[in-house]
């Protein structure tokens, strides 16, 4: 799976979790860029991403992610 495929699927997850069809994510997107992205929504987001990609993040991965690009890298490394 390439980065374009990942970002397309992640965009849909973000839009669903945050209830905003106008969200556009990039590798540099952070919680500061999305109004409703707080710690509770972060948990919902991680769960939705795990479900979409059929994978589980490790706790250290979740706590170490600084932006969407790092999430994409983990997804790409693991494949599907």
Quick: pLDDT tens for 13-47. Answer: 999 999 999 999 999 999 999 999 999 999 999 99
Q: Domains in the chain, start-ordered, CATH in brackets?
A: 3-78 (1.10.1200.10)
CA 60 to chain centre: 15
Whole-structure pTM value: 0.92
- Alpha carbons 29 and 6: distance in angstroms, whole number: 14
Between helices 39-53 and 68-78, what is the axis angle to 10°?
A: 30
Contact of 5 with 80, CB cutoff 8 Å: no
């Amino acid at each position: 799976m390439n980065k374009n495929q990942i970002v397309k699927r992640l965009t849909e997850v973000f839009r669903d979790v945050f209830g905003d069809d106008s969200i556009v994510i990039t590798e540099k997107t952070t919680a500061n860029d999305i109004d409703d992205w707080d710690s509770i929504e972060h948990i919902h987001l991680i769960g939705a991403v795990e479900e979409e990609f059929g994978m589980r993040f490790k706790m250290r991965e979740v706590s170490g992610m600084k932006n969407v690009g790092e999430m994409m890298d983990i997804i790409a490394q693991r494949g599907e």
